[in-house]
Every structure is written in C-alpha cells, then in structure tokens.
Structure 1
Amino acid sequence: MEDRTNEYESSTWRQWHTPVILAIAVVLLVSNIYFYWDHHQLQQRLRRIQNSVESDLQTLRENTASSAQTTAKTLEELRTQLDDERGRAMQAANQAAQNARRHADDLAAKIQTEHAKAQEQVASALGEVKEVASTRIAEVASHVNTVDTQVAQARSELDKTVAELRSVRGDLGVESGLIATNAKELAALRELGERNYVEFNLAKTNKPQRVGAINVVLRKADPKRSRFTVDVIADDKKVEKKDRTINEPVQFYVSRARQPYELVVNEVQKDRIVGYLAVPKVETASR
C-alpha cells in the first residue's frame, strides 16, 4: 500500500516539476540571449563613441595645428609691424629733436637780437631821461626858490598884519585875543591858530541862526552909528547883547570852555551884520 502511495507521489511530482524546469531553462536562455544582445549593442555603442572621440581628437589636432600656424603667422606679422612702427617712431623722434634744436637756436638768436635792441633803446631812453631830468631839476629848483621867496614875503606880510592887530577888552571886562577888522586880518589870525574862527553873515529875523555851536538872533542893525543888538543863545540860555559897536568883542561863556566865546562884528549894514565867532581851542566835553 505504501509502495503505491510513493509511486503515485513520485509520478505527480514529475508531472509538475518537469514543466517548471523547462520554463526556468527557457527564461535563462532568453535572459542569456538578451544579455548577449545588449552586451553586443553596448560594445557597438562604445565602439562608435570611441571612433567619434578619435575623430574629434584628430579634428582638434588638425585645428590646433592650423590655429597654431595662423597664430604664429599673425605674431610674426605683428612683430614685423611693431619693428616698422618702432623704426618710424625713432625716425620721427629724431626729426622732432632736430626741429626742436633748430627752433631753440632760432629763438635764442632772436632773443639775443631783441635784447641788443632793448639795450640800445634803454640807453637812448636813459639819455633822454637824464636830459629831461636835468631840465626838470633846474625848473624845480627855480620854482622852489620862487616859492621860498613867496613864502618869505607872505610870512613878512603875515608878521606885519599880526603886528597891526590889537587886543581890546570885551564887554564882559575880559581881555580878548587879537581882533581882526577885515578878511586879511582874519586870515592872519587863522594862521596863528590860537582859536577857531567861524564867519557869519546874518540878516535881521526873529528866528535863531546857527553860528558854529551857538544860535544868534539879530534884533537891530544901525549902519549910521555902526551899532547892533543881538540875542545869543547857548546852553539853552539866551543873553541879550544890546547896542554893541563894530570890532567890539561881544563875550559870553558856554559850559564847554573856560575862556569866553567872542562874537566880533566887522560891518553893520541895513538889517544885516557881518563878522566872525572866535572859539577857544581847548574845550571840555559837554555834559
């Protein structure tokens, strides 16, 4: 019984095992064929790539050789051009140097000629200047002598005029300075410089008229008697000087000076007086 069973199992195993083996064998065979074909295709592809690379390398070698020849030829041409340019540049530089030396020589000769002409002109001008200077010096010396003579005459006349001036007592009883009776004597007083002098020509009016640092109002003018009456306004104070005569120092004090101001009338006309105001040189600042 067991023998039959074993025989049956053995027969059954052979029935399904054989197809499996055949199938595996077919798969292996197909796989080997595929791998062989793929390997063959890969070798062909690698061969084509190698041929292409070798062809490219050959082309590159040829192009490189051609490019090297072209570059060498170009470099040679450039070297030739550079030598030519260097030669032309040196020639131009030599020519420029020669021209510069020639121009410098011409300029030096021209400068020397102009310098000689200038020296001649300067010498001639100096001679003319010396001649003119001698003439002018003589003229100036003569003019100085004339001026000195005129100054001496003016000083003599001034001394004479000053000697003729007189000093009188003013209306305040103070001894006045020298009194001028006309324009010539007033000019002599100015030359002495003892006081400052302000001339005036006042008409009769009710309004104060400015004379130096004071105001004056002419109230009355009597040409027949050579007398006049004025109001003197100084330091905001008004003082009447009544019935005064010509060439009489009309004296009054102001806060700025220790000496009195002096109003001197040299001429009395109809409704007008002409004279000057004598102001002390030294004054103090007003408060």
Structure 2
Amino acid sequence: MSLTPLMNSGSPEDPSKTDNEPAAQKLNRNFRAFGILLAVALIIGTAEGIYAVVLSNRLQKVEHTMQSQLAQQDESLHRLRDRLGATEEEFADLQVDLTSTKDHLGKTQIDLRKARQMADQLAKEQKENAENLSGQLGALQQAQSSTSGTVGSLSSEVTGVKQEVSTTKQDLASTRTELQRVIGDLGVQSGLVAHNREELAELRLRGERDYYEFDLRKTKQPQKYLGGVALQLKKTDTKRQKYTLDLIADDRRIEKKDKNTNEPVQFYQQGNRVPTEIVVNQIYKDRIVGYISMPKQKQASVSGLEGSAQPAGSGS
C-alpha cells in the first residue's frame, strides 16, 4: 500500500490566496501613505493660512503706521512752509525798517552837522559879545570916575524921593477902603469886601452891616441861615476858582452861576433898598466858605437862628 497520495491530499495549498495577500497589504500601505500625506498637506495649508492672516494684519498695521507718519510729516511740512513764509515776511519788514533807519540816520547826521555849525556860530557870537561887553565895562568905569562928583546932588534927590514915597504910602493907606469897594454881580456898588476872617472882624467893628459866616457843602437840601436866606451849593471848580449855587429868599430861587472868590453876589429882599450880599472867600471840592452881609434894616425882621450861620455879635 502506497502512503504518498494520502499525504498530498491532506494539506493542499491555494496558489491564488498566496498571490492576493501581498497586493492587499501593498494597497493598505498606499492608502496609509496617502492619508499621511493628506494630513501633512492640511496641516501645512492651515499653517500657511494662519501665517497669511498674521502677515496681513502686520502689513495693515505697518501701512496704518506709515500713513500716520506721512500725515504727520505733511503737517510738519505745512507748518515749516508757514513759518518760512512768516520768516520771509519778517525779513521783508526788517529790510524796510533797515532802510527807514538808514534814512533817519542820514537825516540825523545832517541835523548834527547843522547843529555843530550853529554851535560854532553861537560860540563866535558869544566871543564877540564878550569883547564888546569888556569894552563897554571899561567905558563905564571911566564914566563912573567922571560922575563921582555928582553923588552929593544925587543923595539930595534920593532924600526927596523918599519923602514922596512916604507921602504916597499915606495916600494909599487912606484910599485902601475905597479900593476894597467893588461892583457886585448886579452892577450895584458893594460895601467893603473882607478877604479873610481878620478883615471880616474889622467890618463887624464898623457896625455898618450884619455879617454871618457859613461853611456850605454840597447837599441835596438847601441850608437855611438867618434873615430868611437859604443856600444850596450846586458845583465847584477848584482849578478856575468858581462856584455855582442856588439862593432862596422871599420864596424865590435864584441861580448864581460861575461866581468867583471875593465877588459880591447880590440880591434884594423884601423891605430893603440895599442888596444883601454873599461873598465866598475859599473854594474847595464840593465846599465853599464865606459870609452873608445884610443891611441893618433887615435886622428888625430877623426872628432867630434857622441854620448853622453865626451872627456878628456871636464872636465867631
């Protein structure tokens, strides 16, 4: 009995199976390689996209920065041009001023030469005048020696002149009161006018009129005084020494405008033929000082004090 056929029939090998297994493995390896390549390509593409975005942002920032710098440079350039234009204008003005200064300097030099010429001429004239005066002085000295003999006669004449001066002084003293009589603002001959308190005291001693001193300030209401007289100061002019006031008497208001110091301001009151007078001796800012002069006939109608004025008998 032969054993060989039995062993061959128990373990036969499929030749097609042994040929297909290497092709499948090869195909799987190809698919794996392709997947790896595809993944790598995706990773590279993603990285390139991210890099492109980052690069684009950086480029935009750089572009924005460059535009800002260009704008600043343009602005600086405009300012520089404006300053250059202003500098050119200032330079032109300086040139004009320089030209004007040169002209003035030329005129000044001409004036200086003229002044020097005038100074030389004046010095020459002064020298000539000094020589002339020297000659005249010599002549006067000679004349003095020749007139020494007439001194005695001149002394007697001087004595006569002194006597005449003494007589003139006496005449002036006698006419002093007449010189103090002036014409008032109404054209009427005034009584004696006192220029200060000492002269006013002398007038009181004469007893011809009644005198009331006042110190009147500028107020809204008139100030009342004796004899039914009220005064209201309106304004003063210390530079020109003038004043304006309103006087109220016998229910009448009279404006006395731009009156001077020591000028008799006259007005008539009922029952008097002689005017009452106001004399201002001192003028200050919004204030006057003086006196009221009333005729004696008015004294009978005086009913007492009505203000700050003081009568002659009060010793003020």
Alignment TM class, shorter chain as reference:
0.3 to 0.5
TM-score relative to the length of structure 1: 0.42
Q: Which has the larger radius of gyration?
A: 1
TM-score relative to the length of structure 2: 0.38
Report 1 or 2 for greater relative contact order, CA contacts < 8 Å, sequence distance ≥ 6.
2
